Amino acid sequence: MAVPFHVQGGKSVPAYVKNAKKRYNKAEAKANNVEDQIRNQFFQRKSQFISCKECKSKLNRNHLSSIFCPLCNASLFSDTNINRIKTLKSKVAEAINHLQNMTRRAASENRSGKIGYVVGGLCSS
C-alpha cells in the first residue's frame, strides 16, 4: 500500500519562525523569572505570620512549605501578584499560538508541489 505525501522543499527556516521562537522563549523566561521572584519574596518576608484571605486564619510563615493555605487550599499570594502571573502566562500562551501558526505557515510555503509515495507495508503471498 502506498501513501502519498507532499515533498518538502529545500528552503531554510524563515526569519519569522525564528523571531516567533525567540518571542516565545523570552516570554516563557520572563514568566518563570517573575514567578520565582514572587515566590522568593513571599518566603523572605519580615512578618512572622501570614493571614489567609479565604479562611481568615493566621499562619506561621516558618512552617509553610507551599504558597497555598494548608487549611482551605487558597493561594496566599496577593491579588496583584496573582494578576501578574496570569497576565504573563496568557502572554506565553499567545506566543505559543503565534509560534505554531508561523511554523504551519512555513511548512506550507516550503512544499515543492511534488507528491511522493511511501510504501506502508509489504505482504508476503
- For residue 73, the one-letter residue type is N
pLDDT value at residue 125: 62
pTM beyond cutoff 0.95: no
Q: Is the pLDDT of residue 108 over 90?
A: no
- % pLDDT > 90, the chain: 44
Domain boundaries, the chain: 2-111
Q: Is the pLDDT of residue 45 over 90?
A: no
pLDDT value at residue 20: 94
Mean pLDDT (whole number) for 41-64 = 89
Q: Is the pLDDT of residue 110 over 80?
A: no
Give the pairing of strands 111-119 and 2-8.
Answer: antiparallel
Tell me what the pLDDT averaged over the chain comes to. Answer: 88
pLDDT value at residue 12: 77
pLDDT value at residue 22: 96
